[in-house]
Amino acid sequence: MNLTRWLRAVGGVAASLLGLLVLTFLIGRVMPLDPVLAIVGPDADRSTYEQVYRQLGLDQPLVVQFGRYLLGLAHGDLGRALLTGNPVTGDLLRVLPATIELATLAMLIGALLGVPLGVAAATHHGRWPDHAARVLGLLGHSTPVFWFGMMGLLVFYAWLGWAGGIGRIGLAFEGTVPTVTGLLLVDAALAGDAQAWRSALRHLLLPAAVLGLHSMAYLSRMTRTFMLAQLSQEYVTTARVKGLSERQVVWGHAFRNIRVQLLTIVALAYGGLLEGAVLTETVFGWPGFGSYLTGSLLLGDMNAVMGSVLVIGVLFVSLNLLADALYRVFDPRAAA
Amino acid sequence: MLPGLALGAWDTPTDQLLVGLSMNNLLSLDPAAATGLDAMAVACNLYDSLLELDAHEPTRLLPGLAQSWAVSQGGRRLGFQLHPGARFASGRPVLAEHAAWSLQRVLRMNLAPASVWKSYGFTAANIGTQVQATGPHTLQIDLPQPTDPTLVLMTLATSMSALVIDRDAVLAQAQRGDQGAAWLTTHAAGSGAFALQTWRPKELLILTQQADHWRGAARLRRVVMRHMTESQTLRLMLARGDLDVAGGLSAPDIRALAQRPELAVETVRRGNVYYVAVNARHPRFADERVRRAVLRHLIDFDGLAGSVLPFYGQLHQRPVPPGLPASLPSPGYHLDVAQARRLLAEAGLPDGFDTTIRVMAEAPFTGIATSLQATLAQAGIRARIQPGTGNQVYGAMRDRQFEIVVGRGGGGAESHPHSALRALVYNPDNRDSARLSNFQGWRTGHADATLNGLIDQALVEPDAARQLALYQQAQQRVDDAVGGMQPIAVVTDTQVMRRVVKGYVGHPSGATRLRDVYKVAQS
C-alpha cells in the first residue's frame, strides 16, 4: 500500500472516531440523566449542587466542554470517571482484559462449533442434520442470552456443581492473585496458584459457553448460507466429476472459498462480543467492559461513556484492519 | 463442562466473610463526599466516629473514639474526651486535632454530607472557630445557633461526615489543594477495625483485619464484598454455600430462602419511609381536596402491606418512624374510593383527570405504583406510570417537574424526630426561587407556617416532655393540613445469611460494624 492510501485510511479512521465522539457527546447531553445528582445524591442542597455543576464544567458552553475533552484526549487523558473516581484510562485497562478473556473463549467455542455445524448443514442440505443445525441455530440466536445464563447457572452451578458461580473467581480467592496481564487465567498461572487457576477456569467456562452458544448459532447459519452458495457452483460439480473425495470437495475447494467471508463475520462477531456482552456479564457478575459501559450510561458519566465508545470504535476499526490484512493472506486477488 | 472440576467446591473459609450485594450506590468512600447507607456500611468499618449509636436501642449513644462527652453552656457546647490509645491504621495516634480537621474538611468541601452541619449553622467560614481541639485528646464543638444538642450528638454517631480521618495520611496524597478528595474516593485513612485492601467500584471490595486495632483485633481476617445485582444469582450462591451474607434479594427469593434451615433472614428497620408525593404547585393538586382524595383515600395501604411491602417495609403512615419516643401510631388511613370520589366531585373533578406517576423501575416502587394506578382508576383518575432511574425520578422531583412520585426518603440516620420532619415535611420558603431541593416539603410545593413553627420550636425546646408534645403536635398537624407527602411504610432492609455467621447485627443507621462478627464451622 502506498503512502497516499495509508494516509487516506488513517484519515478515514480518525474522521470516523471523531464523528463517533461528537455523536456520543451530543447524545450524552440530551439524555435525561444528571451526573451532578449522581455525585451529590438526591438530597443535596442547592449550593452543593451548583458547586459540583461548576466543578464538572457543565456551566460552560457545549463547544468549550467538547473542546476541553478533545484537548485532554490529545494528551492521552480521557478524563476521570464519576463512577469510580479513577482516570477512565485506568478503568478501561482494568475492565477490558476481563471481557477479552470471556469473549475470546466464547468466540473460540462459537467458531469451533458453529463453522463445522454450518458446513455439515450445507452438505446435508434438506436432511436431518440440516434441520437439526437450523433448529439449534434458531434457538441459539432467538433465546435471550440471560435466560440461557440463568438456566446454565441453575443446572451446572446450583444442581450439578460443575461450574463456578458468579464473578471471575471464587470469592475467597479475590485479591489473592497479583494482577499482571488482567487475564485471570494467565495471572493465576504466572503466580503458580493452581487452586486459583482452577477456580478462575470454573468461573469462566459457563459464561463463555453461554456467550459462545449465541455466536455459534450466528456463525453456523452464516457458514451454511456461504457453503450452500459455493456447493451450487460449477467448479464444485467439476471437482466431483474429476473424482475428488467429498471431503476434498467440501473442505479443499468450497470451504477455502468462504474463508474470506467467514473472517469478516467472525471479526464482526468478536467485536460484538467485546462490546455487547452486557447481559452475560450482568447475569454472571462479570466485571467487564459491558458492565462498565452500562453502569456509566445509567449514571450519565460521560467521560467514561466517551472513553468506552472510543475503545469500541478503535476495536472495530482494528478488527476490520486485521480482517483486511488476512484477506490478503487468504485471497491473492486482494493482495494484487 | 468437566465433571472433575466440581471437586473444587468447598465451604467458605471461617476467617472470611463473603458478602454479595449491590454496590450501585457506592461511588465514594470519602467521608466528606459519600452519601447513603451503603457507603456508611463500609466506611464505619474503616473509620471510627466519636460516638456510636446502639444497634439494639437506636436512641442510646455509646462511646466511640470519645470515651466520654458532656453538654454545657445551655446546650451550646459539646466537649469530648478522646480515647488515648486509639490509633490510625498508619500507626499515628488519633488526636482531637484530627477529629476537628475532619469536620472542618466536610464544610470546606461543601458536598452533600455538609448539608446536615449547615442546618446546625456551621459554615466553611465559622467551622474553624466552632470546632477546635483544646488539647491532644479533648475536642470542643460550639454550636453556632440554638438547636437540640442530642440531635448533633446523634449526627456525630451516625453520619459519614463525622468519621475521623488521618489528616497527615490524606494531606500527603492531596493534589492541587483538593484536601485529598481524589485519593480518599477510593482509599481510606481511618482507625477502624478493618483496612481497605481493594476497592474496584461496582465490582469488588475487600477489607482486611487491623491486627493491632485499638479495641482489639476483629475476629474476621477478611471481608470480601462483591457487587451483585441479580437476586436470582444471589439466591443460587447462598443456596450453594458460596456466600455468607446477601443483600438486595427480591421478596420471592427471600421467601424461598427462608425455608432453608441453614439460612437466617435478618430484617432491620431504617429511619426513612416509602411515600407517595404529589406536586401541590401543579394545578391538579393545588386543591387540598384532591390531595386528600389521592393521598388519604386512594392508596391501598393494607393491600400494599400484605402484598408488596413484606421484606421492604412496614406499614406506617406518619413521617416520624416508629421506635422513637415522639412517634405516634398510624392514623388508620385506608382505601375509601367512595370518599375519594366525593372529594373529587367537590373539587369539580367528578370524572377524574389524567396524571403521571414517576417511579424508580425497581421493587418495591413499581409494585406500589401499579397498585396506586389501579386504585386511582377506581375513582376515575387515569394515571400513566413513568418508570426511570433514581436520578431521573428524584431529579424531576427536585425541579418540581412532576405530578405524582412514588419514592423513598426521610430523615437521615439520626434517631430523632426532627431529622424525619425536617426532611419530609418542613418547608421554610415555598418560592421556586428558593430552590430548597434538599427538603421533600419544598419539592412537593407545600408550606405550612404552623407546621414549620412547631418543628422549629420543638428543636430548641430544652424540656424533654414539652419537646415530645411539640413533635406529636407537629405530626397531628401533618394529618390535619394535607400536604404533598403521604408516608406509606417505614423502610426495612432484609439480608439473608448463613447461620454459621455469628454476631452480625444490622444497624438502623447503616453503621453495621463487623468487628464482632465471626463464623463457626458448618456442623
Read off the pLDDT of residues B302-353 as tens digits, 9 standing for 90 and up: 999 999 999 999 999 999 999 888 999 999 999 999 999 999 999 999 999 9
How many degrees, rounded to 5, is the angle at CA B393 between CA B389 and CA B399?
140
13-32 of B, contacting A, C-beta below 8 A:
13, 16, 18, 20, 24, 27-28
Per-residue DSSP letters for A34-57?
Answer: -HHHHHH-TT--HHHHHHHHHHTT
d(CA A93, CA B421): 47
Whether residue A31 is predicted with pLDDT greater than 50 in this model: the reply is yes
Q: B16-192+500-519: which CATH number, 3.30.210.10, 3.90.76.10, 3.30.2130.30, 3.40.640.10?
A: 3.90.76.10
Whole-number pLDDT of residue B2 = 35
Mean pLDDT of B364-382: 96
Alpha-carbon distance values, B147 to A274, B78, B336 (Å): 57, 12, 41
Task: Give pLDDT tens digits for B2-42.
Answer: 333 333 344 678 999 999 998 877 888 999 988 888 889 99
Fold for the domain defined by B269-492: Dipeptide-binding Protein; domain 3 (3.10.105)
More confident residue, B13 or A299: B13
Task: Give pLDDT tens digits for A97-153.
Answer: 999 999 999 999 999 999 999 999 999 999 998 999 889 888 888 888 888 898 999
Whole-number pLDDT of residue A233 = 93
Whole-number pLDDT of residue A3 = 79
Among the partner residues B111, B227, B409, nearest to A48 by beta-carbon distance:
B111
Alpha-carbon distance values, B453 to B317, B427, B448, B459, B474 (Å): 22, 10, 9, 10, 9
The residue of A80, A154, A174, A195 whose CB has the most chain B CBs within 10 angstroms, and thus the best one to mutate to test that interface, is A174
Whether residue B1 is predicted with pLDDT greater than 90 in this model: the reply is no
Per-residue DSSP letter, A178: P
**How is chain B split into domains, by residue range?**
16-192+500-519, 269-492
When pLDDT is cut at 50, 70 and 90, the band that residue A267 belongs to is confident
The residue of B187, B233, B414 whose CB has the most chain A CBs within 10 angstroms, and thus the best one to mutate to test that interface, is B233
What is the number of other CB atoms lying within 10 angstroms of the CB of residue B520?
11
Q: Is B236's CB within 8 Å of A167's CB?
A: no
What mean pLDDT value characterizes chain B? 92
Q: Indicate the pTM of the whole model.
A: 0.85
Whole-number pLDDT of residue A236 = 92
Whether residue A1 is predicted with pLDDT greater than 60 in this model: the reply is no
What is the number of other CB atoms lying within 10 angstroms of the CB of residue A144?
10
Whole-number pLDDT of residue B9 = 43
Whole-number pLDDT of residue B8 = 39
Whether residue A51 is predicted with pLDDT greater than 70 in this model: the reply is yes
Listed as own residue / partner, the contacts of A180-189 with beta carbons closer than 8 Å and 24 or more positions apart are A181/A97, A182/A93, A182/A94, A182/A96, A182/A97, A182/A98, A183/A97, A183/A100, A183/A101, A184/A98, A184/A101, A185/A101
With contact defined as beta carbons under 8 Å apart, do B140 and B97 qualify? no
Mean pLDDT of B427-450: 93
Among the partner residues A37, A83, A209, nearest to B391 by beta-carbon distance:
A37
Whole-number pLDDT of residue B156 = 97
Residue keyed to cell 473460540: A108
Q: Is B35's CB within 8 Å of A206's CB?
A: no
When pLDDT is cut at 50, 70 and 90, the band that residue A336 belongs to is low
Per-residue DSSP letter, A82: T
Whole-number pLDDT of residue B11 = 64
3-state secondary structure at position B134:
strand
Q: Is B186's CB within 8 Å of A206's CB?
A: no
The nearest alpha carbon in chain B to A287 belongs to B203
3-state secondary structure at position B243:
coil
Whole-number pLDDT of residue B381 = 97
When pLDDT is cut at 50, 70 and 90, the band that residue B184 belongs to is very high
98-137 of B, contacting A, C-beta below 8 A:
110-112, 114-115, 118
Query: How is residue B376 written as a grid cell?
Result: 386511582
d(CA B381, CA B366): 18
Among the partner residues A33, A162, A298, nearest to B6 by beta-carbon distance:
A162
385-404 of B, contacting A, C-beta below 8 A:
388-392, 394-395, 397-398
Whether residue A32 is predicted with pLDDT greater than 80 in this model: the reply is no
Mean pLDDT of B97-111: 95
What mean pLDDT value characterizes chain A? 88
Whole-number pLDDT of residue B3 = 34
Check if A159 contacts B (Cβ < 8 Å).
no
Whole-number pLDDT of residue A45 = 85
**How is chain A split into domains, by residue range?**
3-74, 94-335
Mean pLDDT of A280-287: 88
Burial class (CB in 10 A: 0-12, 13-18, 19+), B521: exposed
Mean pLDDT of B285-310: 96
Sequence-separated (6 or more) residues with CB below 8 Å from residue B276: B294, B295, B299, B368, B372, B404, B405, B406, B485, B486, B488
Fold for the domain defined by A94-335: MetI-like fold (1.10.3720)
Whole-number pLDDT of residue B405 = 97
Whether residue B248 is predicted with pLDDT greater than 60 in this model: the reply is yes
- Report the range of poorest mean pLDDT among B92-96, B362-366, B412-416, B459-463: B412-416
With contact defined as beta carbons under 8 Å apart, do B87 and B101 qualify? no
Q: What percent of chain A lies above the pLDDT cut of 70? A: 98
Whether residue A11 is predicted with pLDDT greater than 70 in this model: the reply is yes
Whole-number pLDDT of residue B125 = 96
3-state secondary structure at position B231:
helix
Task: Give pLDDT tens digits for B194-232.
Answer: 999 999 888 899 999 999 999 999 999 999 999 988 888
Q: What percent of chain B lies above the pLDDT cut of 90? A: 79
Beginning with the edge strand found earlier in the chain, give each strand of the sheet holding B77-82 in spatial order. B66-72, B77-82, B138-142, B131-135
Mean pLDDT of A296-309: 86
d(CA B309, CA B301): 10
d(CA A268, CA A237): 32
Nearest to B48 by CA among B518, B516, B513: B513
- Which stretches of A153-254 are DSSP H helices? 184-191, 194-231, 234-241, 246-247
d(CA B84, CA B75): 26
Whole-number pLDDT of residue A130 = 92
Residues of B in contact with A85 (CB under 8 A): 27-28, 182, 185-186, 201
Residue keyed to cell 475536642: B139
Residue keyed to cell 459539646: B78
Whether residue B76 is predicted with pLDDT greater than 50 in this model: the reply is yes
